[in-house]
Structure formats: structure tokens, C-alpha cells
Amino acid sequence: MSKPTNVFPQRFGWVGLGAMGFPMASQLLQKLPPSCELFVYDINSVVLQKFIQANADHPAITIVSSPKEAAEYSDCFISIVPEGSHVKDVYMAPQRGALAANTGGKILIDCSTIDPGTSLEVGRAVTASHPTNPPRFFDAPVSGGTRGAEKGILTFMVGAAEDDPQFPLLRRIFSCMGTSIYPVGGQSLGLAAKLSNNYLSGMIALATSEAMNLGMRLGIDPKVLSECFKTSSGGSWVNSTVNPVPGVCPDAVTSKGYEGGFKIQLMKKDISLAIQAAKTVDAKLVLADAGLGAYAAATDDPNCRDRDSRVVYRWLGGIEP
């Protein structure tokens, strides 16, 4: 049986140990009470063993063979996978999906960044899976990148109303992995917030790359230029924290060969999803085509692919000190 709404879950199921899921699950383990258990699944058996080794001081980890098994054994089930088709498979695959388990009354959370339509479809399937005691499904995408995941300082955008009776419990769960938890409304609105955010972030990173390259080619030292931006109208989190120019933010992935961080192809995917969502509500996006074109071209560039999305600066032909 699942735990009552006001009781913190004792058993967690986790599916997805990618660049974000691995550190998020690790943070959850570190913050959970000692009595809690984690049942974890990933399609990559190697990464499962790495997860066990990285969290060897937490014996209450069990590797399971499918999302169904993770959901069956848990009170709260969390997934974070790359695309909408993967989310559908995690929840709805015959025999192996989470909904093949007895999920009555349980909490199911998807932290993936996918299109709202697919999330709504999965949510309907979750509700229909147990008519007499339906589980609750929440979209809760995250922002903050791999560094934020590793430090446990992520932002969660939760598809729930602030007065949802389960939101206080969701806040406690997400607080194990993040520091900013926003209830943004009903189902799929967490994804609406995430896609809006990533569209904005991607465009700011592209504009910052162009502006830095422009100023540097005109003769300004990049660190001086970045400092000017910080206290001027062009200031942004991107400029101050992950400036695209190597060396401006020494601790950022942009100064470490753009290794790690939020991959360029993921930014391309998220901007594409934002554009698709905009079309469904007739929202005009003036910068969309140019921005998507830049990230698509950078994704296809072997000098940029698989690197942090701010590598778009390199694709632009920006000066690298």
C-alpha cells in the first residue's frame, strides 16, 4: 500500500541515471532518512554499477530489472529520461512499464523535459490505470544543469497548484535535490515553464556569445567586457555564471573545453519543443528560427557536438583566448 499524503515516502523508485539523473538520485540518497530505500533502474547496466559504487555508503539501494519493478516496490516513483518517447515507454510499455505495476494511490513524478502533450497523455494513462484508487502524476522538470544537480541546488518547476494537498510533500521530496521549488499550476504547466525558460536561456546565451565576440573583435578584454555587462542592461545569469568565452568564468564548463554541462543537442531539442508548443497556442516567436538554426548547426559541428550548449560561441567563430 502507498503511504498517506502527509507521510514522507519510505521507498523510492528511480528510473534514469543520465547526466542529470545520476547526481539527482545521489543527492536524494544523501538527504533521505536512513530508513528509506531506493529501487533504481536504467537501460545501461554499466551506469547502474557506477551508481552503486559512487553511493557505496548507502546500502539501501536495490537495482531492479524494469520500471514496473521500480514502481511496484516504491511509494514514490521518479523518472528522468531524454525524450517523450522514452517517458511513454517508462510508464506505458506493456509488461515492463510502471503502469503494469500496482500503483494505486502512489505518487509518480516525471522530471524529464518533453512536450506537454506527451506528458498529458501519460498523465491520463496514470489516472486510468487504477480507477478506484488513482495514483497522482506530476510533471516536475528541473533547471540548473549538471553542476546544480551535483550540488543539490536545482530549480523544480512543478505542474501542481500551490494549494494542491500533495504539494507540501512534493516540496519536501524536491528539497532533497533542489533549493527552488515552484508550483506553477496544473498538469503539464511545469513543462510549459521549463520550455519557456530554456527558450529564453538559449537565446540569451546566443546573444551573449555574439555580443562578447563583437566587443572582443573591437579590442575589449573579455573579462572587462563581461564586468561591464554585469552592471549594465545586458547583464544576465549566463554572462555572470557560464559566460560562453573560455576563461571569463574560470570554474564554468565553458572554461573547461565545454565538457559537461547542458549538451548543445539538448538545447536544440528544447528550443524545438518550445517552438512546437508556441504554435499550439499561437504565440509569436521572432527569434525562434534564427536561434534554432544556430543550435542545429552547432549540433552538427563535430567541434561542438556533445559539448555544453554555450559552445555555440565556438560555432560563431568567437575568439577563444
Q: Which of the residues are catalytic?
A: 194
Which amino acid is located at 316 in the chain?
A: L
Residue at grid coordinates 555580443: 211
Give the span between the Cα atoms of 179 and 149, in whole angstroms.
Answer: 11
Non-local (6+) Cβ contacts of 221 within 8 A are none
